[in-house]
Amino acid sequence: MNIIVADDEMLARETLIGILEDNGPGLEIREAGSGQELIDLVRQWKPDVAFVDIRMPGKSGLEAIKEALPFAPSTQWIMLTGYAEFEYAREAIQLGAVDYLLKPVDPQRVENILKQAKAKAGQESLSYCRDFEAQMVSVFHDQILPEPSSPSPASAGESWLAVLIYEDKPMQTETSGSTETLVPVTRILRETINGCCSKELLLALVTLSKDEHLLIGKASTEKDRRSLLRLPEEITEHSRQLTTFTRMLTSLQTKEHTSLSPLRDEVAKLRALSYLRSVTEVLAPLGLSEMESLGANPVYAKTGRIAADLAKAYQRGDYVAFISSCEKLQTHWMSQPVMLTMLKERLVSYFRCVIGPHLTYDVQLDTDWLGQLPEAAGASMLKKKSVEEKQDWLDAVIRYLEANFCGDITVAGVAERFQVSPNHLSTLFHKKMGVTFIQYMTRLRMLKAQELLSIPGMKVVEAAEQVGYYSTRHFTNLFKENVGCYPSEFSKKHQR
C-alpha cells in the first residue's frame, strides 16, 4: 500500500510514520512538507492513502487536495489537524476525506483507520482487476483488440506479460480405486490474483479451454513491473506443488511487452506450439524461443504431434484413431531409438496424466512400455465405451417407457423392440433404476392417475383405463398400495 504523510512539522511526520510502520510490512511511505510537495508527489505516485495536515503554510492541505484530486481520484484522504472546528471537518468531507484525526494522533485510531483503508484499497484493486479481466476475456476469445478506453491509473510506461498454464489429467482421475481430490488450478491462480493485484498491477485470468488457462498482467510502475516479472516463477512453483502422479502442469510465458497487441500475438504462437509439452521439461516456465527451438527439431516436433493426437483420440473415445496413433508412435520410436529414449520418462508421465493410471509400471525397469500402451489403455477404452453404450441403451428404454407407459407395455415387448432378451433387460433395468421393470411402470401409471383424478368430473374407471388398467379393482388396489388412499378419496380431496 502506498501512503503519503503531508505535514509541515517534521516531528509530526516522523511520529505518524513511526506509528504506521508499527502496523506491519508492505507499506510504501513518502513525506511531503508542504502543499505543493503533496501535489507533486500525488501527481507522480498516486497513493492509496494520504494523511494531510489541513493547515500548512503556502498552500493549505485543503487547497492541495483540491488541486491533486484529478491526478488520484481513488486516493483515500485522511485529514490531520490540531483544530477541532467543525467547519474544517465539513469542508474536508466535501472534498472526499474518509476520516479526520486530531493531533497528537492516537496510535489506536491510526491502526483502525489504516485497516479500513487497506480493506477499501483492496476492494478497489479487485474492482479494477475485474474490469481488466472482462476486457481480456473479450480480447482473447473474440480475437478483437478493444476500443481505446479511459486510461487506468498510472498508464504511462506499461509492462505486459502473460503465462499460459496447461493442465493434463485424465477425464476422471482415479488412484487405488478411489477418486483423487485435486485442488483446482483456477483456485490457485485466483488466489494469486487476489494477493498480488493493485491499481498499478492489473491481473486477469482467462480460461481458453477446459484445461488451458491464461494469466495476463499489466504493470504501471517500476515496483509493480518487478512483481509482474516474478509472477511466472511463482506460478511454476505453485504448479510443482499441484503436480501429482496423474496431473501434469506446464507453464509457457511470453516476453515482456509494452502494449497488448504484441502480447496477444505471442500468446497465439505459444498456443500453436503447446502440443510440444509432452516432450518438454517443467523445471521452469518455457518461453517462445525455447518452444520454437523444440518445434524446429523434427524428431521432437513429430513426437509431440503424435502424442497430442493420441491423447485427444483417447479422451474423445475414438478407439481407431487411438490405436492408429499408438502404431505411428511405435514406428517413429523404432526409427529414432537413441534420441527418443531420452524422452521416455517425460512421455510416460504425460500419457499417464492424459490417459489415466493404467500406466503404472516403473519407467526405469520396463522396456516395452510403448508396446503395452495400446493394450492397457485400449482395453480401458473399449470397456468404457461398452459402459457408455449400455448407459445410452438403457436411457433410450426409460425414455420409451415414459412416453408410452399408458399403453400395453410388457417386458417381453420392450425387449423385442430393443433387440435384447427379457432377462437381460430386467437385470440391467433393476441394476440401473433400483426397482424392477414392473415397479417402475406401476409408479409412472400411479403418478399419471393422480393427475387425472385431480380433473373435475374424472371418474375412477375412466382414469384406470387411461393409464392402462381395465380392471377397476386391480387399479384400486395398486393405487391404495402406492398412494396411501383409495382413488375415490383422492378424487374427492383434489376435485374442488
CA dihedral of residues 226, 228, 229, 232 (deg, nearest 10): 150
Q: What pLDDT is stored for residue 282 in this prediction?
A: 64
Q: What are phi and psi of 249, to 5 degrees?
A: -115, 130
Most confident of 13-27, 162-176, 266-280, 393-407: 266-280
Instruction: Decide which of 433 and 272 is more confident.
Output: 272
Q: Are 310 and 295 in contact (CB under 8 A)?
A: no
Q: Describe the crossing of helices 298-315 and 344-355 by its angle, rounded to 10 degrees.
A: 20
Model confidence at 47: pLDDT above 80: yes
Q: Please spell the DSSP secondary structure of 98-134, one letter per residue.
A: EEEEESSPPHHHHHHHHHHHHHHHHHHHHHHHHHHHH
Q: What are phi and psi of 287, to 5 degrees?
A: -95, 175
Name the percent of the chain lying above pLDDT 70. Answer: 85
Instruction: Decide which of 348 and 41 is more confident.
Output: 41
Q: Are 396 and 418 in contact (CB under 8 A)?
A: yes
List pLDDT tens digits, range 122-162. Answer: 778 888 888 899 889 889 987 555 544 444 444 457 899 99
Instruction: Decide which of 386 and 289 is more confident.
Output: 289
Q: What pLDDT is stored for residue 292 in this prediction?
A: 95
Query: Considering Cα of 483, then 489, then 495, then 496, what sign does the dihedral take?
Result: negative
Q: What pLDDT is stored for residue 363 in this prediction?
A: 43
Q: Residue 210 is which amino acid?
A: K
Q: What pLDDT is stored for residue 403 in this prediction?
A: 85
Alpha-carbon distances, residue 201 vs 67, 126, 142, 186, 458 (angstroms): 26, 10, 24, 19, 71
Q: What are phi and psi of 77, to 5 degrees?
A: -100, 125
Non-local (6+) Cβ contacts of 149 within 8 A are: 135
Q: Is 468 left (phi over 0), alpha (psi -120 to 50) or beta?
A: left
All structural domains of the chain, each given as residue ranges with its CATH number in brackets, are 2-105 (3.40.50.2300), 150-296 (3.30.70.1130), 308-387 (no CATH), 405-494 (1.10.10.60)
Q: Are 52 and 38 in contact (CB under 8 A)?
A: yes
Q: Which three cell numbers stand for residue 95?
A: 472534498
Q: Are 134 and 202 in contact (CB under 8 A)?
A: no
Q: Please spell the DSSP secondary structure of 421-473, one letter per residue.
A: -HHHHHHHHHHHHSS-HHHHHHHHHHHHHHHHHTSTT--HHHHHHHTT---HH
Q: What pLDDT is stored for residue 365 in this prediction?
A: 42
Q: What's the rounded mean pLDDT across residues 440-448?
A: 91
Non-local (6+) Cβ contacts of 208 within 8 A are: 140, 141, 214, 271
Q: What's the rounded mean pLDDT across residues 277-284?
A: 79
| Predicted structure pTM score | 0.62
Average pLDDT value for the chain: 83
Q: Distance between CA atoms of 288 and 452, rounded to whole angstroms?
A: 69
Q: Distance between CA atoms of 269 and 267, rounded to whole angstroms?
A: 5
